[in-house]
């Protein structure tokens, strides 16, 4: 069955258009609620959101849908995605919902669902819910309609969990940290947690107004935090995205540090402490070859998956790994969270700065990345990757890079674009290879 609603990370789109309407949200809630109503206990769902204007509308629609099928609703207000996953487990809920479009602009919104274990739903469960969305809802009897309540201590619970993710002896006294929350879901909790651990905190992106989420701030717009770190003479900058499941770090010189370097740092420290499981790290095909070589030198593996944190998580669970992530900044530390958590990863980075007592530019330069180039090629239609000439150019490129680099070519899942990425020790060779493949795709597309 082809997916109509769910993508690689829940349901997402422009609000009041397509699948992202109040009417659809209510049907999603009714279908998901019906699916998770099992047993004779009183069923409940935890609903959180980021700071988008449309969050009010989507939240109200979801509450109506869940209560109409007999589920009680617990509303937390704005909280990061990983906080909702945590609270779903902690409150023994049957289901968790996060209303967010992550790093997208405010016009978009999304619905992410978590099972009672706090993990995102499997493909099979999402397909079951899709079938329910297009079926008549199983409405509860009048006496069984659910209730809704808002809890006031959700932020405090999550802040406590964040601090529990590092050693109780660790303090951040003496560190000056710029924290950019993208005017998103972590605008209260991330600065508070870091301040409570002793750091001097300078904030950016903590004045959400419904339409400024990810607007010139956050992990996908780094100019503001780079400038702020240098201007303030800060030790480090922490940049989160709209729902705070992603982290990019800025060193004291104003340089960005991506997820590969952060994963490398955290993994090695865990290995030294004897708490790394799985024998290495899980990342996607986009992670730099330099990370793979660095881990191999330490006797650790880098296992690669398709792009998407859900695929990273699936491999982590199957292989017994406790650290994984993406170059883009999703960090999954399974000992402390069931999904990517930018703030948990940030606390690990700050702990490393305290431990090594060296500048961030030294601590976070774990390996030398090899030259890597990604280009996107738009095509008009058809399947250019099936063309004989394109296949021939790709085969030649793979042979040329053999033993010296890597080639990753994949179609976008959301637009008519082919993504061409190559990396290797020779930057000029990498650029030439990418350009040849792009030209071949353009010729047939």
Per-residue pLDDT band at 2 (split at 50, 70, 90): low
Residues 6+ apart with CB under 8 A from 42: 72
> Residues 416, 385: contact at Cβ < 8 Å?
no
Residues 6+ apart with CB under 8 A from 43: 33, 36, 37, 70, 71, 72, 94, 146
The phi and psi torsions of 158 (rounded to 5 degrees) equal: -70, -40
Which pLDDT tens digit goes with each residue over 18-62?
999 999 999 999 999 999 988 889 999 999 999 999 999 999 999
The pTM of the full predicted model, rounded to 2 decimals, is: 0.92
Percent of the chain at pLDDT > 70 equals 99
> Residues 157, 90: contact at Cβ < 8 Å?
yes
Per-domain boundaries in the chain: 11-152, 259-341, 372-444
Let me know if the fold of 259-341 is the same as that of 372-444. no
**Domain 11-152 superfamily per CATH:** Alpha-D-Glucose-1,6-Bisphosphate, subunit A, domain 3 (3.40.120.10)
The sign of the torsion formed by the CA atoms of 152, 154, 159, 161 equals: positive
What is d(CA 421, CA 409) in angstroms, rounded to the nearest whole number?
6
Q: Which fold has domain 372-444?
A: TATA-Binding Protein (3.30.310)
- Kindly list the catalytic residues: 102
Strand 417-424 and strand 372-378: pairing? Answer: antiparallel
Per-residue pLDDT band at 7 (split at 50, 70, 90): confident
DSSP states of 62-114 as a string?
A: HHHHHHHTT-EEEEEEE--HHHHHHHHHHTT-SEEEEE--TTS-TTEEEEEEE
Q: Which fold has domain 259-341?
A: Alpha-D-Glucose-1,6-Bisphosphate; Chain A, domain 3 (3.40.120)
Per-residue pLDDT band at 411 (split at 50, 70, 90): confident
Percent of the chain at pLDDT > 90 equals 90
Q: What is the mean pLDDT of residues 110-123?
A: 94
**β-sheet with 372-378: strand ranges across:** 372-378, 417-424, 405-411
Strand 108-114 and strand 372-378: pairing? Answer: unpaired
Extract the tokens encoding 193: 């947690």
73 beta partners: 45, 148
The sign of the torsion formed by the CA atoms of 264, 269, 272, 274 equals: negative
Per-residue pLDDT band at 1 (split at 50, 70, 90): low
Residue 77 has pLDDT above 90, yes or no: yes
What is d(CA 19, CA 192) in angstroms, rounded to the nearest whole number?
35
Extract the tokens encoding 380: 């008009």
């Amino acid at each position: 069955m082809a997916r109509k609603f769910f993508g690689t990370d829940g349901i997402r789109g422009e609000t009041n258009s397509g699948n992202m309407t109040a009417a659809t949200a209510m049907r999603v809630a009714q279908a998901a609620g019906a699916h998770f109503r099992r047993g004779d206990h009183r069923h409940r769902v935890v609903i959180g959101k980021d700071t988008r204007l449309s969050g009010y509308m989507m939240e109200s629609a979801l509450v109506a849908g869940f209560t109409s099928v007999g589920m009680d609703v617990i509303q937390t207000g704005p909280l990061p995605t990983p906080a909702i996953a945590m609270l779903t487990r902690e409150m023994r809920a049957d289901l968790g919902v996060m209303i967010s479009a992550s790093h997208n602009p405010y016009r978009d919104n999304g619905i992410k669902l978590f099972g009672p274990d706090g993990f995102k739903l499997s493909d099979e469960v999402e397909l079951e819910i899709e079938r329910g969305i297009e079926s008549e809802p199983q409405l509860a009897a009048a006496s069984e309609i659910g209730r809704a309540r808002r809890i006031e201590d959700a932020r405090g619970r999550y802040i406590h969990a964040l601090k529990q993710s590092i050693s109780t002896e660790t303090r951040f006294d003496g560190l000056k940290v710029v924290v950019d929350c993208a005017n998103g879901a972590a605008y209260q909790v991330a600065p508070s947690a870091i301040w409570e651990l002793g750091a001097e905190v300078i904030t950016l992106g903590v004045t959400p107004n419904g339409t400024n989420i990810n607007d010139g701030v956050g992990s996908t717009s780094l100019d503001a935090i780079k400038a702020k770190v240098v201007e303030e003479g800060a030790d480090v900058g922490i940049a989160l995205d709209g729902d705070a499941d992603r982290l990019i770090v800025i060193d004291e010189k104003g340089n960005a540090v991506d997820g590969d370097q952060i994963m490398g740092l955290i993994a090695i420290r865990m290995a030294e402490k004897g708490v790394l499981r799985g024998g290495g790290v899980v990342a996607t095909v986009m992670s730099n070859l330099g990370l793979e070589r660095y881990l191999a030198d330490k006797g650790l593996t880098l296992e690669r998956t398709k792009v998407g944190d859900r695929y990273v998580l699936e491999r982590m669970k199957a292989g017994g790994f406790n650290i994984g992530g993406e170059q883009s900044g999703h960090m999954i530390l399974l000992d402390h969270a069931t999904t990517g958590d930018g703030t948990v990863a940030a606390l690990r980075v700050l702990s490393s700065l305290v431990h090594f007592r060296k500048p961030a530019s030294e601590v976070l330069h774990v390996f030398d990345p090899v030259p890597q180039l990604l280009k996107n090629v738009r095509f008009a239609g058809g399947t250019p990757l099936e063309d004989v000439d394109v296949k021939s150019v790709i085969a030649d490129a793979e042979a040329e890079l053999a033993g010296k680099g890597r080639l990753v070519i994949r179609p976008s899942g959301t637009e008519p674009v082919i993504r061409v990425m190559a990396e290797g020790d020779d930057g000029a060779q990498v650029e030439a290879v990418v350009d040849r493949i792009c030209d071949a795709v353009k010729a047939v597309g």
